[in-house]
């Protein structure tokens, strides 16, 4: 009897070791690919800014020791992805291609997670970092197609195209914006370091939000975000980039949120907020919530969380959050005729 147990245990051990070996051989190249691609993303950013990436910057960006980063760079140099130049590293042509591809994958994934999966802005970067290494080029192109060829990621970074040299980014950090009444619109929020980004998101800044710089007091910036005064440390504000606000989004004075329209009142839709994206935006548009359409607020539920609106001869119920995304201008004539 004992020899049977012995035999079975030996067989089991052999099988287990075989399995471990298979896992190990699968895992090692995967890990190398992950590391290489993470390094390529950093190299892409410096390529775009037209500067060289130093070893220290690479190690810092990956959160590695300089020794490990050096090993990785040597390996990448052997495979012909990078070459050293002066004091830093530069992408070869092949490296540029791969770096563009992985950056494109990363930003498209962020776009997907934000628009279609409804992930909060703060956790996109981390999640995209995890999935991006597993996608094939065909899958990435299918994703691009599905998302309707987006031009920027949710943070405001442009989504690069293959075979195009990235154009240097012409944007102004919030710290350089003049004080006073000039309206600034957020175009980009740096996603690293994560703590700084959380701080930026916490005071209500998003790409597309319009604000004024009230004053500068030492290391603190005083901002006017939609009528509310907020403060932000200058070091954090460095990660927020702005441009002169577009005319369309400056009309905030005259517009109000659809959710605040009182019962029975009629209004024209002016625009849908930029924060309403992907599936949610498509649904609203498909149901007829397009700029210019006439909409009337009607009855709401017991706790006032959901309300029905009459638009284009139909009744559509929206939650308060959805109706907050629709900016309207009240019009005086009560709606009887249909639109």
Partner 1 sequence: MNRSLDLENQPSPESSDSGSSQVLLERVDQLRQGLSGRFHDEVVQTLYDDARRIADRSVRHQGPERFHLGEHMDKLITHPILGLPIMGVLLAIVFWLTVTGANIPSAIIAGALMQDGGIAAPLEQYMGITSPAWMSVSLYQLLHNVMAWAGSPLWLTGLSLDGVYLSLAWVISVMLPPMMIFFPMFTLLEDLGYLPRVAFNLDWMFKKAGAHGKQALTMSMGFGCNAAGVIACRVIDSPREKLVAILTNNFVPCNGRFPTLIMIATLFVATRFPPAWSSVAAAGTVVAVVLLGVMITLLVSGALTRTALKGEPSAFTLELPPYRRPAFLQVIYTSIIDRTIFVLARACWVAAPAGALIWILGNVNLEGQSLAAYGIRWLDPMGQVMGLDGVILLAYLIAIPANEIVVPVMLMLYMQHNRMIELENQAMSNILLEHGWSMLTAICLMLFCLLHNPCGTTIWTIWRETRSRRWTIFATLMPLVLGIIACTAVATIARFF
**Alpha helix positions (H), 215-257:** 234-237, 247-250
Choose between 240 and 318: whose C-beta lies nearer to partner 1: 318
Interaction of residue 274 with partner 1, rule CB under 8 A: yes
Strands 172-173 and 228-233: unpaired
Alpha-carbon distance of 299 to 310, in angstroms, equals 10
Provide the minimum distance between the beta carbon of 258 and partner 1 in the complex, in angstroms, as a whole number: 13
The DSSP letter of residue 334 is P
**From 83, 131, 314, 331, residue interacting with partner 1 (rule: CB under 8 A):** 314
Residue of 326, 322, 317 whose CA lies nearest to 290: 326
Interaction of residue 139 with partner 1, rule CB under 8 A: no
| Burial (Cβ within 10 Å: 0-12, 13-18, ≥19) of residue 93 | exposed
Choose between 228 and 305: whose C-beta lies nearer to partner 1: 305
Which positions from 147 to 176 touch partner 1 by CB under 8 A, shown as an x/- string?
-xx-x---------x---------------
Interaction of residue 257 with partner 1, rule CB under 8 A: no
Helices (H) and strands (E) in the chain, counts: 11, 14
Alpha-carbon distance of 337 to 264, in angstroms, equals 14
Interaction of residue 322 with partner 1, rule CB under 8 A: yes
Choose between 179 and 246: whose C-beta lies nearer to partner 1: 246
CA 236 and chain centroid, separation: 18
Residues in the chain: 339
Choose between 93 and 145: whose C-beta lies nearer to partner 1: 145
**From 140, 189, 272, 295, residue interacting with partner 1 (rule: CB under 8 A):** 272
Residue 65: how many CB atoms within 10 A of its CB?
10
Which positions from 117 to 136 touch partner 1 by CB under 8 A, shown as an x/- string?
xxxx----------------
Contact 327, 261 (CB under 8 A): no
Interaction of residue 308 with partner 1, rule CB under 8 A: yes
Choose between 123 and 215: whose C-beta lies nearer to partner 1: 123
- Footprint of partner 1 (CB under 8 A): 116-120, 145, 148-149, 151, 161, 248, 271-272, 274, 278-288, 290-293, 298-299, 301-303, 305-306, 308, 312, 314-319, 321-322, 336, 338-339
């Amino acid at each position: 009897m004992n020899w049977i147990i012995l035999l079975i245990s030996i067989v089991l051990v052999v099988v287990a070791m075989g399995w471990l070996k298979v896992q190990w051989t699968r895992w090692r190249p995967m890990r190398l690919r992950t590391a290489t691609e993470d390094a390529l993303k950093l190299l892409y950013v410096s390529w775009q800014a037209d500067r060289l990436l130093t070893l220290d910057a690479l190690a810092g960006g990956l959160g590695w020791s300089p020794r490990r980063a050096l090993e990785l760079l040597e390996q990448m140099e052997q495979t012909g992805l990078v070459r050293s130049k002066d004091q830093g590293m530069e992408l070869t042509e092949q490296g540029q291609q791969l770096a563009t591809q992985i950056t494109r994958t990363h930003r498209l994934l962020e776009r997907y997670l934000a628009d279609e999966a409804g992930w909060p802005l703060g956790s996109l970067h981390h999640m995209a970092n995890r999935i991006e290494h597993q996608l094939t080029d065909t899958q990435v192109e299918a994703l691009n197609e599905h998302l309707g060829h987006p031009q920027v990621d949710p943070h405001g970074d442009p989504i690069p195209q293959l075979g195009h040299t990235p154009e240097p980014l012409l944007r102004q950090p919030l710290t350089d914006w003049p004080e006073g009444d000039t309206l600034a619109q957020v175009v980009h929020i740096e996603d690293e370091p994560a703590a700084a980004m959380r701080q930026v998101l916490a005071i209500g800044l998003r790409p597309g939000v319009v604000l004024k710089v009230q004053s500068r007091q030492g290391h603190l910036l005083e901002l006017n975000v939609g009528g509310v005064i907020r403060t932000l440390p200058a070091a954090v504000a460095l990660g927020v980039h702005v441009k002169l606000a577009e005319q369309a989004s400056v009309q905030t004075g005259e517009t109000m949120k659809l959710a605040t329209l009182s019962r029975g009142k009629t209004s024209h839709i002016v625009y849908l907020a930029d924060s309403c994206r992907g599936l949610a935006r498509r649904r609203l548009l498909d149901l007829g919530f397009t700029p210019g359409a006439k909409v009337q607020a009607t009855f709401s539920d017991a706790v006032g969380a959901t309300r029905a609106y009459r638009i284009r001869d139909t009744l559509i119920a929206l939650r308060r959050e959805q109706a907050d995304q629709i900016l309207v201008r009240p019009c005086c004539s009560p709606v009887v005729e249909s639109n």
